[in-house]
């Protein structure tokens, strides 16, 4: 019987993606554009959070949004309706964005006229955590209705992010979500994680989150 040759395809895919991601970061540094990758499960409030974030930043930073969905252009339409430059990436079945996909989105924008671009990744707490998009920072949203046990179920997502936005805090009184337990769980996974408690709907906490973006974008642009 012939010897079977094992080829680690996933390893090759990740290596190729990492190379494209690193090239993207070099391009972003040259263009002085700060790129943020925003991830969450479906329904956590990514689009609403993006709109409230842009509203808090619009006087200070020139912003655009890259939307990603398996199908439809609904989220891009919502963003564009607010006068924000938007690109829609339709993945056609892929449950995540990789650096090559993001590069296509960035190629559709005039980076020289932008300070800040937000990626709204595909709604999923698994696949997006595995792929480097070329972003300067990664952020995720955990909404109160999802429960405080998600760090136990999806540890990689919480480990790769720089920021955790706990969204829909206006639902806390209607939920058994325990903020202290959640903090303990996520900081055990990622001690450097920045945590902001927000309500994208009411605007609570959004200014503090926007201030973090201003600092990080400013430091990146001036570096």
| Structural domain contains residue 1 | no
What's the pLDDT score for residue 5? Answer: 56
What token pair was written down for 6?
């094992």
What's the pLDDT score for residue 13? Answer: 63
What's the pLDDT score for residue 74? Answer: 84
Nearest Cα to Cα of residue 142 among 183, 112, 90, 107: 183
Q: Which domain holds residue 29?
A: 9-222
d(CA 193, CA 142): 13
What's the pLDDT score for residue 198? Answer: 98
| Structural domain contains residue 182 | yes
pTM: 0.92
What's the pLDDT score for residue 170? Answer: 96
How many CA atoms lie within 13 Å of 51's alpha carbon, on the beta-carbon side?
A: 16
| Structural domain contains residue 3 | no
d(CA 20, CA 1): 40
What's the pLDDT score for residue 62? Answer: 96
| Structural domain contains residue 4 | no
CATH value at residue 183: 3.40.50.300
What's the pLDDT score for residue 15? Answer: 78
| Structural domain contains residue 122 | yes
| Structural domain contains residue 200 | yes
Domain count, the chain: 1
What's the pLDDT score for residue 72? Answer: 73
| Structural domain contains residue 49 | yes
| Structural domain contains residue 72 | yes
What's the pLDDT score for residue 110? Answer: 93
How many CA atoms lie within 13 Å of 82's alpha carbon, on the beta-carbon side?
A: 18
Give me the tens of pLDDT residue by residue for the chain, a chain 223 residues long: 456 554 444 466 677 899 999 999 999 999 999 999 999 999 999 999 999 999 999 999 999 999 988 777 788 899 999 999 999 888 777 788 999 999 999 999 999 999 999 999 999 999 999 999 999 999 999 999 999 999 999 999 999 999 999 999 999 999 999 999 999 999 999 999 999 999 999 999 999 999 999 999 999 998 8
């Amino acid at each position: 019987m012939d010897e079977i040759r094992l080829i680690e395809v996933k390893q090759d895919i990740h290596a190729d993606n990492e190379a494209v991601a690193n090239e993207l970061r070099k391009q972003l540094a040259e263009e002085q554009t700060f790129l943020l990758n925003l991830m969450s499960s479906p329904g956590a409030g990514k689009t609403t959070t993006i709109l409230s974030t842009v509203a808090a930043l619009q006087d200070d930073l020139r912003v655009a949004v890259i939307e990603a969905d398996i199908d439809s252009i609904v989220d891009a339409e919502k963003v564009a309706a607010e006068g924000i430059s938007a690109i829609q990436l339709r993945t056609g079945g892929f449950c995540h964005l990789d650096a090559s996909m993001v590069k296509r989105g960035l190629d559709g924008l005039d980076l020289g006229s932008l300070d800040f671009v937000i990626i709204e990744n595909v709604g999923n707490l698994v696949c997006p955590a595995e792929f480097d998009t070329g972003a300067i920072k990664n952020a995720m949203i955990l909404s109160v209705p999802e429960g405080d046990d998600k760090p136990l179920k999806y540890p990689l997502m919480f480990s790769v992010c720089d920021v955790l936005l706990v969204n829909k805090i206006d639902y806390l009184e209607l939920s058994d979500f325990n903020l202290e337990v959640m903090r303990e769980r996520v900081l055990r996974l990622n001690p450097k994680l920045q945590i902001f408690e927000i309500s994208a709907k009411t605007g609570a906490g959004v200014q503090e989150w926007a201030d973090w973006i201003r600092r990080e974008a400013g430091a990146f642009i001036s570096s």
